[in-house]
């Protein structure tokens, strides 16, 4: 059990002396120390080098004082391990051989995470050792729908038409694809937990592009199986989907311990809809880190007040942006700690 178990306690919706905080993409380009490592290698090679991945994973713990480490990796690596050819360019990730036909789906393997994705487990084991139980370690995967969308589109898209047409025109084939993805990702989550992850987050980055009816059919059942996989290994699961404010109740139905919020909804509004049976994570606009300190502090305080002291993990509502000043991120972490302690003291002092 990590000495700082704030995050795990919040996942159980038990009281904590202060609100835990971590930052999506906290190991990333906004940190000069990260850029120094990246200058020596490309992004995918960094993901696949356990020593370097562990090094950048630890950076924000030491530099910012966040209450968790999240393993440095990429949600598309399991798709590569399934047999697709992954590359990254300025426009984002790209698959040279996208999924379009029955033969494409048939060709996909269900990789053994301790073989084809062994570098992830190695990075987790190394990080876990170097963390020495200072803070919990988060593992993660993408959601089956999000990975399927990348695999079907092959690259970036505005409207996900190709993905939706695949679901609408080839539903049986799509189910086969989702089945393979879900098995792959469930195995990956279980392996990550066995390699040292104390909890996991599932990113359904594109789930919010689906209508509620399509989300119920094409994302929800598969997300539930990933949550089950984490629970089978005794680890809590956080579920985060961008632009999915209308889907929050459904996300909670997966049995996830915590539902992540993007910045488009006030935490109290989300709480009122979700009830006390699930935690919430978030949700400061990443652009708020460009506000003057006093206005940033006011927004942090507002977020803490609206979210309440129990079952809340502070985070941004999306990944931290590369132009962010690291001092602003450090300021945010420090303020979350101080303000959340102060709010608890005020609350305790009120009869």
> 123, exposed or middle or buried, with CB in 10 Å at 0-12, 13-18, 19+?
buried
Contact 315, 336 (CB under 8 A): no
Residue of 208, 225, 231, 328 interacting with a copy of itself (CB under 8 A): 208
Q: Is 12 a catalytic residue?
A: no
CB of 210 to a copy of itself, least distance (A): 8
Looking at beta carbons only, is 51 or 294 nearer to a copy of itself?
294
In three-state secondary structure terms, 137 is strand
Q: Which of 12, 38, 100, 264 is catalytic?
A: 38
- Interacting span for a copy of itself (CB under 8 A) from 28-36, 175-183, 195-203, 285-293: 285-293
159 binds a copy of itself, rule: CB under 8 A: yes
Query: Smallest gap, in angstroms, from Cβ of residue 229 to a copy of itself?
Result: 27
Active site residue 222: no
Contacting a copy of itself (CB under 8 A), which of 114, 285, 297, 341? Answer: 285
Sign of CA dihedral 307, 313, 319, 321: positive
Q: Is 88 in the site for a copy of itself (CB under 8 A)?
A: no
The SS3 assignment for 290 reads helix
Site residue total, a copy of itself (CB under 8 A): 35
**Which DSSP category does 240 fall into?**
E
Question: Of the listed pieces 32-40, 56-64, 68-76, 317-325, which binds a copy of itself according to CB under 8 A?
Answer: 317-325
For position 272 contacting a copy of itself by CB under 8 A, the verdict is no
Give the shortest CB-248-to-a copy of itself separation in angstroms.
Answer: 10
DSSP state of 28: S
Residue 204 phi/psi, 5-degree rounding, is -100, 75
Q: Which residues of 66-77 are buried (b: 16+ CB within 10 A; e: fewer)?
A: bbbbbbbbbbbb
- To a copy of itself, the closest distance from the beta carbon of 292 in angstroms equals 8
Does 119 engage in binding with a copy of itself (CB under 8 A)?
no
**Minimum Å distance from CB 290 to a copy of itself?**
5
Among 28-36, 112-120, 177-185, 283-291, the segment contacting a copy of itself (CB under 8 A)? 283-291
74 is catalytic: yes
Distances (CA, A) of 199 to 52, 122, 222: 22, 17, 19
Residue 107, CA atoms < 13 Å, CB-side half-sphere: 13
Contacts of residue 348, Cβ cutoff 8 Å, sequence gap at least 6: none
* Strands 199-204 vs 258-260: parallel, antiparallel or unpaired: unpaired
Site string for a copy of itself, 230-249 (x = CB under 8 A): -------------x-xxx--
Taking CB under 8 A as the criterion, the residue among 234, 277, 323, 348 binding a copy of itself is 323
Cβ neighbours, 10 Å, residue 268: 15
Kindly give the pairing relationship between strand 92-95 and strand 86-89: antiparallel
Give me the half-sphere count of Cα atoms (radius 13 Å) on the Cβ side of residue 204. 35
Instruction: Please identify which residue in 51, 89, 90, 169 interacts with a copy of itself, judged by CB under 8 A.
Output: 169
Residue 223: phi and psi, rounded to 5, are: -60, -40
State the catalytic residue, choosing from 5, 34, 67, 150: 150
Chain positions 2 to 61 lying near a copy of itself, rule: CB under 8 A, are none
Cβ pair 63, 31 in contact under 8 A: yes
Spatial distance between the Cα atoms of 171 and 112, rounded to a whole number of angstroms: 27
Among 8-16, 39-47, 178-186, 204-212, the segment contacting a copy of itself (CB under 8 A) = 204-212
161 binding a copy of itself? (CB under 8 A)? yes
**Which residues does the annotation mark as catalytic?**
25, 29, 38, 74, 150
Interaction site with a copy of itself (CB under 8 A): 159-161, 164-165, 168-169, 208, 211-214, 243, 245-247, 263-266, 269, 285-288, 290-292, 295, 299, 302, 317-318, 321, 323
């Amino acid at each position: 059990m990590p000495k700082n178990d704030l995050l795990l306690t919040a996942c159980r919706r038990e009281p904590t002396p202060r609100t835990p905080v971590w930052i999506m993409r906290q190991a990333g380009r906004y940190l000069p120390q990260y850029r120094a490592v990246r200058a020596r290698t490309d992004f995918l090679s960094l993901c696949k080098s356990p020593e370097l991945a562990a090094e950048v994973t630890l950076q924000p713990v030491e530099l910012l004082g966040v209450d968790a480490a999240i393993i440095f990796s990429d949600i598309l690596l399991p798709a590569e391990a399934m047999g697709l050819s992954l590359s990254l360019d300025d426009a984002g990730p790209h698959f040279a051989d996208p999924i379009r036909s029955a033969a494409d789906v048939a060709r996909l393997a269900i990789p053994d995470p301790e073989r084809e994705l062994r570098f992830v487990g190695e990075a987790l084991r190394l990080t876990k050792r170097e963390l020495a139980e200072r803070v919990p370690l988060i593992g993660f995967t993408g959601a089956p729908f999000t990975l399927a969308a990348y695999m079907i589109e092959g690259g970036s898209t505005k409207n996900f038409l190709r993905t939706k047409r695949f679901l609408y025109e080839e539903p049986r084939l799509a189910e086969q694809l989702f089945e393979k993805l879900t098995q792959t990702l469930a195995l990956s989550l279980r392996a990550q937990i066995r390699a040292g992850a104390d909890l996991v987050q599932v990113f359904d980055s594109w789930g919010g592009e689906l209508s509620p009816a399509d989300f119920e059919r094409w994302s929800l059942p598969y997300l539930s199986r990933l949550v089950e996989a984490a629970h089978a290994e005794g680890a809590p699961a956080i579920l985060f989907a961008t632009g999915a404010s209308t889907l929050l109740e459904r996300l909670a139905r997966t049995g996830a311990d915590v539902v992540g919020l993007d910045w488009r909804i006030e935490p109290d509004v989300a709480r009122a809809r979700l009830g006390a049976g699930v935690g919430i994570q978030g949700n400061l606009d990443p652009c708020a880190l460009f506000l003057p300190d006093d206005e940033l502090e006011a927004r942090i305080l507002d977020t803490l007040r609206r979210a309440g002291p129990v079952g809340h993990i502070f985070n941004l509502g999306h990944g931290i942006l590369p132009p962010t000043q690291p001092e602003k991120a450090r300021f945010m972490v420090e303020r979350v700690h101080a303000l959340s302690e102060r709010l608890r003291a005020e609350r305790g002092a009120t009869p």
